[in-house]
């Protein structure tokens, strides 16, 4: 299922003339992390099938909101990935 949902996500972007190589920069304590839309999609496609479908549905909603919706969607998803990545490195 992963490949199918991933390809559907990329197809949605293509239909709206949005390049999957578009990227967003995140500043974390002065260190800039850059993530492409494709990287964000690929990373979320490693989650459960149910999570993939939720991601796909949210992407569709963001596309319905037009330009600002897509940027905000990927910004939020990228922040979520960064928080997850950074929290896994914290030693308690």
- pTM attached to this predicted model: 0.86
CA 15 to centroid of chain Cα atoms: 17
Q: Which residues contact 34 (CB under 8 A, 6 or more apart)?
A: 23, 24, 25, 26
Q: Which residues contact 87 (CB under 8 A, 6 or more apart)?
A: none
Structure-derived torsion over alpha carbons of residues 15, 6, 49, 88, reported in degrees to the nearest 10: -120
In terms of pLDDT, which residue wins out, 66 or 84? 84
Q: Which residues contact 44 (CB under 8 A, 6 or more apart)?
A: 51, 52, 55, 77, 81
What are the pLDDT digits (tens) for 12-28?
999 999 999 999 999 88
């Amino acid at each position: 299922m992963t490949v199918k949902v991933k390809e559907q996500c990329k197809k949605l972007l293509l239909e709206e003339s949005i390049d999957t190589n578009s990227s967003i920069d995140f500043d974390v304590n002065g260190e800039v992390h850059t993530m492409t839309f494709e990287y964000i999609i690929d990373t979320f496609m490693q989650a459960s099938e149910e999570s993939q479908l939720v991601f796909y549905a949210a992407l569709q909603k963001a596309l319905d909101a037009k330009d600002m919706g897509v940027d905000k969607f990927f910004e939020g998803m990228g922040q979520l990935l960064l928080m997850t990545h950074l929290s896994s490195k914290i030693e308690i």
